[in-house]
Structure 1
Amino acid sequence: MKIDKRHLLNYSILLPYLILSVLGLIMVYSTTSATLIQYGANPFLSVINQGAFWVVSLLVILFIYKLKLNFLKNSKVLTLVMLVEIFMLIYARLFTESVNGAHGWIVIWKLSFQPAEYLKIIMVWFLAFTFARKQKMIATYDYQALTRRRWWPRNWGDLRDWRVYFLVFTGLVAIQPDLGNAAIIVLTGLIMFSLSGVAYRWFSAILATVTALSTALLGTIALVGVEKMAKIPIFGYVAKRFSAFFNPFNDLQESGHQLANSYYAMSNGGWFGMGLGNSIEKRGYLPEAQTDFVFSIVIEELGLIGAGLILALVFFLILRIMNVGLKSKDPFNSMIALGVGGMMLMQVFVNIGGISGLIPSTGVTFPFLSQGGNSLLVLSAAVGFVLNIDASEKRDDILREAEAELQSKVESYDNKIIKFNDFQ
């Protein structure tokens, strides 16, 4: 019995993705056109570039949707992908020029790649692969099943010790420095760890440790002073962001400029906004408004009500993705879907936290709305994985039901033959 996966497409995930992607193109045009016109460039230049990445993203979703999931469970394929990623991260850090204080971009001709963006979905894949293979051990040994092996793995190709790889990759992202994506990777890893089957006490202990360390770090910076902390290698780049976090209005010309103008934008928007395209802050007051501060412009133009509806759509998409993970019977499929939902949720949290001053600004884009081809491509690939998983799980359920029904009919037929023979 052959079932075509195209008939099992989950439109409750695909349609929100398409709507958010189109809204993203609209916001890219809204936030960039005025500046491009000011410099005498084509006002559609940015939206054309973003649109090109979206077309590629749709092709990526189609390709991933047709993949057999067993391909993702191949340790050799995953090992190769991770080796390529680690090479890209090292190359970006050592041999590329700094962009906004970070060495996170690899430029090939007119295309630029951000390895840290791709690492987010690779880590979800890796952790799902690792935790899914240890489900029986986790059920027996709990947390010890994930820590009982040696700290350093015997065989790099076997992916046995997840802690080494997780720390190495997170560290490589942090030294770019790209603390935003590093934070998303760590938080996503924490979510996947807590959903792997370990007892809740371990999750609570780790969450308490992370919270305590974060509080201690912020307290130390507040006591010592940002200026002194800026002398520490690598930390100099993020020092200004911490300074703005404590009080953006202390330095409106430098460190606090973006965050303060983000507040102004949200204040201008009120409940109903100034109207699409009518933002004041995007006209040179809020630098790079089309990237990590795009949601401030969304609030300014569409108001809290319009922005709230968009945020609700994003959360609806995340919940539908997580629902696929909760319903999946295969541990690997479940961990992938839950990891993707967790990754998107953490990206929203870090972005909204940054523009509102809840946490230090990290330069993380808002999912689907911000300009950024790499971010859109990664999110689209993640959606493609979930759509594939959902269709595969549905197909397996149909086949199981058909097999059970067939078995029931065979047994019924056999019983009738037995009764007939007994009658004779």
Structure 2
Amino acid sequence: MKIDKKHLLNYSILIPYLILSIVGLIVVYSTTSATLIQYGLNPFKSVINQGMFWIISLLAITFIYKLKLNFLKNSRVLSLVMLIEMGLLLIARFFTKQVNGAHGWIVLGPISFQPAEYLKIIMIWFLAFTFAKRQKLIERYDYQALTKRRWWPRQLSDLKDWRFYSLVMILLVASQPDLGNATIIVLTSIVMFSISGIGYRWFSALLSVIVATSTLFLGLISLVGVETISKVPVFGYVAKRFSAFFNPFKDLTNSGHQLANSYYAMSNGGWFGLGLGNSIEKKGYLPEAQTDFVFSIVIEELGLIGAGLILAIVFFLILRILLVGMKSNNAFNAMISLGVGSMLLMQVFINIGGISGLIPSTGVTFPFLSQGGNSVLVLSVAIGFVLNIDASEKRERIFQEAEDNYHSRMSDEYMKEQAKIIKLREEDDKEV
């Protein structure tokens, strides 16, 4: 029996993805066109660039959807991808120019890409592959099955430890510094570790440690002062973000400029917004309005109701992705889907938290809406993974049901034959 995968496509994931992508193109045009016109450039320049990446993303989803899952479970393919990613992170950190106080962008002519963006989905793939292979050991030894090696390699075989790879890559991202993506990767990795099959108490312990560490860190900064923290090389760039977090109105011309204008934008929007394209803050008042603070502009133009509808679609998409993971019978498939859903949830939370002042701003973009071809491509690849997994799980269930029905029919026929034989023997015994 052959089942075409196109009949198993999960439209409850695909349609919200398409809606958000199209809305993202509209938002990119709305947030960039005024500035481009001001500089005498084509107002469609940014949206055309974003659209090209989206077309490439659709091709990537199609290609990934048609792949067999065994390709994703091939250790050689994954090792090669990890090796390339590590090389790109090293190049981005040590051989590129700073942009807004940070490294991370590799520019090749008209094309530029950010390796840290791609690490988010690669890390999910890597941890799912690693943890899925150890399911039997996890069932027997709990978390010790994932932590039996040393943290730092003392011999060549220790280089296979998942913690070593994860730590090196996260440190490379954090040292750029790109604390936004580093935070998403760390939190997603913690979720992956927690859903690997270990006891739920370890998730509670990790969550407590994160909350306590974050509280102590913010308390330390408030005590010693942002100026002191800014002297640390790695935190020099992000010191302004912590200063704005504590009081954005203290320095409106510098550290608090973005967050304060984000508040103004959301206040301008009210319930129904000023109308699409009518934002005031995007016209030079709110820097980088098309990236980190794009959702502030969305609220200003579409109001809380319009922004709420967009958030509802985003959360619906995340929920459908998480459900794919919950229903999966295969550990690898489940962890990939749950990891992708968690990554999206973390990114939304960190972005909304940053623009509203609930947490320090980390420069994390809003999924699908912010300008950035790399972000669109990474999110699309993640969606492609989930769509492939969902179709494969559906096909396996169909095959399993067909096999169960076949065995059931065979069993019924066998019982009927046995009943006939027993009846014949009873009749034969009576004649004797």
In 1, the alpha carbon distance for the partners of 2:47 and 2:156 equals 42
Runs of 4+ in structure 1 deviating by more than 6 angstroms, as ranges, are: 154-159
Contact 2:21 2:368 in 1 (8 A): yes
Question: Alpha-carbon deviation of 1:100?
Answer: 1.0
In the alignment, structure 1 residue 169 sits paired with structure 2 residue 169: yes
Question: Alpha-carbon deviation of 1:370?
Answer: 0.4
- Per the alignment, residue 428 of structure 2 pairs with none
- Per the alignment, residue 410 of structure 1 pairs with 410
- Give the 3 Å change call, closer, same or farther, for CA 422–207 of structure 1 in structure 2: closer
In 2, the alpha carbon distance for the partners of 1:177 and 1:62 equals 34
- Per the alignment, residue 46 of structure 1 pairs with 46
- Give the 3 Å change call, closer, same or farther, for CA 177–306 of structure 1 in structure 2: same
In 2, the alpha carbon distance for the partners of 1:64 and 1:157 equals 32
SS at match of 1:112: strand
Contact 2:150 2:158 in 1 (8 A): no
Question: Alpha-carbon deviation of 1:410?
Answer: 2.2
- Per the alignment, residue 310 of structure 1 pairs with 310
- Per the alignment, residue 68 of structure 2 pairs with 68
Q: Superposition pairs for residues 9-408 of structure 1, below 5 Å? A: 9-152=9-152, 160-408=160-408
In 2, the alpha carbon distance for the partners of 1:158 and 1:29 equals 49
Question: Alpha-carbon deviation of 1:149?
Answer: 2.4
**Residue deviations 1:180-239, cap 9 Å, x none?**
000000111111111112112211111111211111111111111111211111211111
In 2, the alpha carbon distance for the partners of 1:352 and 1:26 equals 20
User: Higher Cα Rg: structure 1 or 2?
Assistant: 2
Aligned residues: 424
- TM-score, structure 2 as length reference: 0.95
Contact 1:130 1:159 in 2 (8 A): no
Question: Alpha-carbon deviation of 1:418?
Answer: 3.9
Matched to 1:274, the amino acid is L
Contact 1:79 1:157 in 2 (8 A): no
Stretch of structure 1 that moved more, 401-410 or 112-121: 401-410
**Residue deviations 1:342-379, cap 9 Å, x none?**
00000001101110111111111100000000000000
- Give the 3 Å change call, closer, same or farther, for CA 130–155 of structure 1 in structure 2: farther
**Residue deviations 1:165-185, cap 9 Å, x none?**
111111110000000000000
In 2, the alpha carbon distance for the partners of 1:156 and 1:241 equals 41
Stretch of structure 1 that moved more, 16-25 or 238-247: 238-247
- Report the RMSD for the aligned CA atoms in angstroms: 1.5
In 2, the alpha carbon distance for the partners of 1:84 and 1:157 equals 20
**Residue deviations 1:226-279, cap 9 Å, x none?**
112111112111111111111111111111111110000000001111111110
Percent of aligned pairs with the same amino acid: 74
Contact 2:321 2:386 in 1 (8 A): yes
Contact 1:31 1:297 in 2 (8 A): yes
Unaligned ranges ≥5, structure 2: 425-432
In 1, the alpha carbon distance for the partners of 2:245 and 2:122 equals 31
Question: Alpha-carbon deviation of 1:417?
Answer: 3.8
In 1, the alpha carbon distance for the partners of 2:157 and 2:62 equals 29
- Give the 3 Å change call, closer, same or farther, for CA 157–41 of structure 1 in structure 2: farther
In 2, the alpha carbon distance for the partners of 1:422 and 1:346 equals 65
**Residue deviations 1:28-74, cap 9 Å, x none?**
00001111111111111111100000000000000000111111111
In 1, the alpha carbon distance for the partners of 2:155 and 2:421 equals 62
In 1, the alpha carbon distance for the partners of 2:153 and 2:403 equals 42
- Give the 3 Å change call, closer, same or farther, for CA 23–159 of structure 1 in structure 2: farther
In 1, the alpha carbon distance for the partners of 2:170 and 2:19 equals 32
Question: Alpha-carbon deviation of 1:137?
Answer: 1.4
Unaligned ranges ≥5, structure 1: none
Contact 1:266 1:296 in 2 (8 A): yes
SS at match of 2:301: helix
Matched to 2:42, the amino acid is N
SS at match of 2:131: helix
- Give the 3 Å change call, closer, same or farther, for CA 181–326 of structure 1 in structure 2: same
Contact 1:90 1:172 in 2 (8 A): yes
Contact 2:149 2:158 in 1 (8 A): no
In 2, the alpha carbon distance for the partners of 1:325 and 1:156 equals 35
Stretch of structure 1 that moved more, 340-349 or 203-212: 203-212
Matched to 2:272, the amino acid is F
Matched to 1:67, the amino acid is L
